Amino acid sequence: MVATIKGVNYIKGKWHCNQCETTKQRHFYKYYTDVFKKTIVYCRKCIALGRMDNHNDIMITATEHCKSDANYKLSFHLTPQQQYASQRIVDALLCHQSLLLYAVTGSGKTEMIFEAIHRARKDGLNVAVVSPRIDVVVELSLRIQTAFESEMIDVLYKGQRQLYNGHFVIATIHQLMRFKRHFDFVIIDEVDAFPLSMDNDLISVVRAASTTQCCTVYMTATPSNRFINQFPKDQIIKLPARFHQHILPIPTFKYYKIYPYKKQLYFLKLLKRQLALKRYTLVFFHQIDIMETMYHIYKQYIAGLTYVHSQDALRLEKISELRKGKYNVIFTTTILERGFTMSHLDVIVIDSHKFKASALIQIAGRVGRKSDSPKGLVLYLHQGISVSMLKAKSEIKQMNTLARLRGWVND
């Protein structure tokens, strides 16, 4: 059952946005268009999530509840940390609480939510697993659909059609606008992938799609302090260990000034050593122009060198070839800072003093994720150690200390 409404409605003399539910009139912008011969009103508050206006329709799914078995299969046993987290999420679901899952990169978060999803669906609760990022939604949907193979799961992102009644949904945050007071259990992965300023919008969109009794689980490796402060201490769970039970690689700092327009011996030797060691190397840059300039200098010396950035038309092809091992060294911007996983991978950051701590932690988090190569190089090249660099390193060390203290790692 689907109803159609406008993205923005005029109710009792006030404009109302159906995505973020704001009724503050200053959030609405009006302009006249000759094309439709009418005044268009749109919501500026949640514009970054996709425009809501009084012209285009959005679909709203009618809310019903129905039970399903929601049996799932796992091809391995959960680690002690995953079992602990899984139980904490089930507890939160039963007492309608919210949780912040502060889990290191590569902790195996997805499997931790299966038991709670199973319980929720058995009780007829509506479940949503969401992320701001399409690539995360695609990856989550593959893994969740494999585990819950007899469930009718709606996977919703750009252009995907809704097949079922929204009892079990995997979607981008933007797609939640199809549901009002609908979900009883919501899990948000990579919650910090949005800019900081959007924390509140994100929460209001999720709130509009959720019932008042909803249990919401927020998952991230790099929560902002502002986000952490929204949770009582007992509703924050730190998960410091990776699923393969090896500690996180610790970054090394090295003072090194880059001259983008000339060949620098140290950098060339560094890359050649990486090739000799048969390692794949991601080199992160803060600026696209510097990256491109250096690519043209070093490509003649380094076999299998390429570069990729968010405006690159061949971006998806390059990333897919990269996963197949076609390239040895990849110059990249922060588009590969999350979600990218590959064996035998090292990272080097150029001008690391210009990066935020969360980006540096995510970048370091690319290394050692596979159990066949849990170690690797994380090298931050800088021109003066920044507070962000220190913060990133100390957070990684703290997580390792905590993981050892709890006996959740083997080294």
**Binding interface with Zn ion (CB under 5 A):** 17, 19-20, 43, 45-46
What minimum distance in Å lies between the beta carbon of 210 and Zn ion?
16
What minimum distance in Å lies between the beta carbon of 205 and Zn ion?
8
Nearer to Zn ion, 179 or 243 (CB): 179
What minimum distance in Å lies between the beta carbon of 182 and Zn ion?
18
Nearer to Zn ion, 205 or 247 (CB): 205
What minimum distance in Å lies between the beta carbon of 27 and Zn ion?
7
Nearer to Zn ion, 43 or 117 (CB): 43
21 burial class (0-12, 13-18, 19+ CB within 10 angstroms)? middle
Residue 254, strand partner residues: 381
Nearer to Zn ion, 20 or 389 (CB): 20
For residue 199, the 8-state DSSP code is H
Sign for the CA dihedral angle at 405, 386, 349, 106 comes to: positive
8 A C-beta contact, residue 328 and residue 280: yes
CA distance 341 to 321: 13
Question: CA 334 → CA 56, 310, 339, 363, 364, distances in Å?
Answer: 34, 8, 11, 8, 12
Nearer to Zn ion, 19 or 362 (CB): 19
Nearer to Zn ion, 30 or 323 (CB): 30
What minimum distance in Å lies between the beta carbon of 8 and Zn ion?
8
What minimum distance in Å lies between the beta carbon of 26 and Zn ion?
12
Q: What's the first-to-final CA gap in the chain, in angstroms? A: 54
Of 220, 159, 166, the closest CA to residue 188 belongs to 220
8 A C-beta contact, residue 197 and residue 224: no
8 A C-beta contact, residue 382 and residue 255: yes
Contacts of 379 (CB under 8 A, 6+ apart): 251, 252, 254, 346, 347, 348, 349
Nearer to Zn ion, 29 or 301 (CB): 29
Give the SS3 label for residue 399: helix
Continuous H helices in 190-248: 199-209, 225-228
What minimum distance in Å lies between the beta carbon of 21 and Zn ion?
7
**Backbone phi, psi, residue 43, to 5°:** -90, 125
What minimum distance in Å lies between the beta carbon of 314 and Zn ion?
35
What minimum distance in Å lies between the beta carbon of 42 and Zn ion?
8
Nearer to Zn ion, 137 or 202 (CB): 202
Give the SS3 label for residue 344: coil
Nearer to Zn ion, 43 or 241 (CB): 43
Strands (E), 12-153: 14-17, 28-33, 38-43, 57-61, 99-103, 127-131
